[in-house]
Structure 1
Amino acid sequence: MDATATAPRQAGNAQASFAGTLTDKLKEQFDAGLLSGQDLRADFTIEQPLERYTETDHAVWRKLYERQASMLRGRVCNEFLQGLSTLGMDKERVPSFAQLNETLMRATGWQVVAVPGLVPDAVFFEHLANRRFPASWWMRKPEQLDYLQEPDCFHDVFGHVPLLINPVFANYMEAYGKGGLKAASLGALDMLARLYWYTVEFGLIRTPEGLRIYGAGILSSQGESVYSLDSASPNRIGFDVRRIMRTRYRIDTFQKTYFVIDSFDQLFDATRPDFAPLYDELRAQPTLGAGDVAAADLVLNRGNREGWADSDDV
């Protein structure tokens, strides 16, 4: 099981009980004295504590970067590779967010802001709506290379940030943040979270060269980078926003279904309409299991279901 392929993601988890509670990672950082009242700002950001990265942290970054970068060519979309090249992301050490932001801001007006871990939904959406991507500052431990419960710096920075160089995808992420603020007021976060999960985290895209990866949950996972494209087990289904918003997903295994876009323009165009009527429409329809194939689906590959866990979908 691979790192962050199974990690609960920010927009994929209900966090109604977040207020007044802390994740284990937040508590660990408070206990260590990192997050005093003046360090943790009202928007849950902190200064990236570059001085706190150890040689072990840098070695873990280097190992993860090396193994992902070596296998992604021919699997990942060209837009990701272009973004990675443009950013000039450090391969040897955990990168400075401030240095990344110099390039990112010039390209699309986005910036990376350091956070101690998962943040409340409203805070997360507010950041995205203002072109700020909240990234965990801390690195996983050496024994966590292949399994991690919470997204760390490698997942957030290597997996997410390169595509923010792409103008269309950058616009999609901003639109998603604005949509999230509205969805929260309409009680529709569960439906919008599915859209994030199946696009930003676990999305595939059709290209002239074949299917390619763009979702960060796959990009930062060695095993799922292979499984998502090569395995006969999962379904691969054409993108449809209504279908996705009705579909549950997996947080404890590789995905049973991947949704495939034709272009980032298609993805951005899907966020243009007012989702309020759509939420009302979908509330009257049953949800679908993570591995279900519906009659109206554009099925690119019907999975053979081999190895599927029988635990519950989210």
Structure 2
Amino acid sequence: MFKTFHHAEADPQLPGWQAYVVDQGWSRFSAEDHETWDILYARQTKLLTGRIVRRFKEGLGQVGLGEGGIPELGRLNAKLHPLTGWRCVAVAGLVPDEAFFAMLAARVFPIGNFIRTRAELDYLEEPDCFHDLFGHVPMLADQAVADAMQRFGETGVEAIAVGEGDKVARLYWHTIEFGLVREDGAVRILGAGLASSFGEALKSLDDPTIERRRFSPEAAAATPYRHDAMQPLYLVADGMDAVVAALEGPLP
């Protein structure tokens, strides 16, 4: 049985998305927590060689996630913010869609203030700080992706206000979380959910039973997804430019 997602609680004294921001509590991470990060980082970087899009590899080197142990967000932001104007903040769990997209619109990315257990190395249903940092932050170091993500956050806020939140959530899921991209004649990983998962990164590219369909914004916005298991299908974009255009464009 899959566990229930832990949702962050808002501080009623703070406005908007800021109500979900908490202290990272970096000093409370144990030696085992930091070792878990190092195991995950070493394993994923080795696994993703030849499997991940170029922009991820370039960003990974720029933000310094492999310097040893769980990154402290202040030091991380000192590297990320000068590159693209983005910064990371800590949250205690999943935040509501309205707050999440408002964060993206403000060039802010939420990072869970916890890390998985050793029993969850291969697959984790609820995103932890490894998923959030390793999976997402390298792409935010790329200017085109960073700008598109801000615009997509604005689109998400507008879509939720008119009752189209499901569409924007599906488009996000099938690109930024679990998207695949054709690059240099091969299908490569884009999505953070794949980049940060040992089991699903392999499955998404190598499993012959998995369905892979061509990506379009319309298909993504209309295709349901599973949040409680590995995905039964993936959408494959023709290139990173197609993904950036979809995130910057109007909601289908």
TM-score (norm 2): 0.91
> Does residue 1:100 correspond to 2:57, yes or no?
no
Instruction: Give the deviation of 1:88 after TM superposition.
Output: 1.7
Work out whether residues 235 and 257 of structure 1, in 8 Å CA contact, stay in contact via their aligned partners in 2: yes
Task: Give the Cα separation in 1 of the matches to 2:158 and 2:37.
Answer: 36
Show the counterpart of 2:49.
73
Show the counterpart of 1:217.
193
Instruction: Give the deviation of 1:144 after TM superposition.
Output: 2.1
Task: Give the Cα separation in 2 of the matches to 1:24 and 1:255.
Answer: 21
Structure 1: gaps spanning 5 or more residues: 1-5, 9-22, 28-34, 279-314
**Alignment partner of 1:85: what SS?**
helix
AA aligned opposite 2:47: M
TM-score (norm 1): 0.73
The Cα RMSD (Å) is 2.4
Structure 2: gaps spanning 5 or more residues: none
Show the counterpart of 1:88.
64
Query: Of 165, 171, 184, which aligns to 1:208?
Result: 184
Task: Give the Cα separation in 1 of the matches to 2:250 and 2:241.
Answer: 17
Q: Map residues 258-297 of structure 1 onto 2, 5 A cutoff.
A: 258-275=234-251, 278=252
- Residues 42 and 58 (structure 1 numbering): CA distance in 2 closer, same or farther, change over 3 Å? same
Task: Give the Cα separation in 2 of the matches to 1:128 and 1:183.
Answer: 14
Instruction: Give the deviation of 1:62 after TM superposition.
Output: 1.0
Q: Map residues 116-131 of structure 1 onto 2, 5 A cutoff.
A: 116-131=92-107
Query: Of 209, 230, 235, which aligns to 2:206?
Result: 230
> Does residue 1:139 correspond to 2:101, yes or no?
no
Instruction: Give the deviation of 1:146 after TM superposition.
Output: 2.8
- Residues 102 and 227 (structure 1 numbering): CA distance in 2 closer, same or farther, change over 3 Å? same
CA deviation digits over 1:100-145, x for unaligned, max 9?
1112111111111111111122211111001000110211122222
Aligned residue pairs total 249
AA aligned opposite 1:44: Y
AA aligned opposite 1:46: V
Structure 1 or 2, whichever has the larger Rg, is 1
Task: Give the Cα separation in 1 of the matches to 2:229 and 2:22.
Answer: 32
CA deviation digits over 1:43-88, x for unaligned, max 9?
3112221111111110111111111111111111111111111112
The percent identity for this pair of structures is 40
Task: Give the Cα separation in 2 of the matches to 1:148 and 1:254.
Answer: 10
- Residues 124 and 181 (structure 1 numbering): CA distance in 2 closer, same or farther, change over 3 Å? same
- Residues 157 and 119 (structure 1 numbering): CA distance in 2 closer, same or farther, change over 3 Å? same
- Residues 72 and 274 (structure 1 numbering): CA distance in 2 closer, same or farther, change over 3 Å? closer
**Alignment partner of 2:250: what SS?**
coil
Instruction: Give the deviation of 1:253 after TM superposition.
Output: 2.9
Q: Map residues 35-54 of structure 1 onto 2, 5 A cutoff.
A: 42-54=18-30
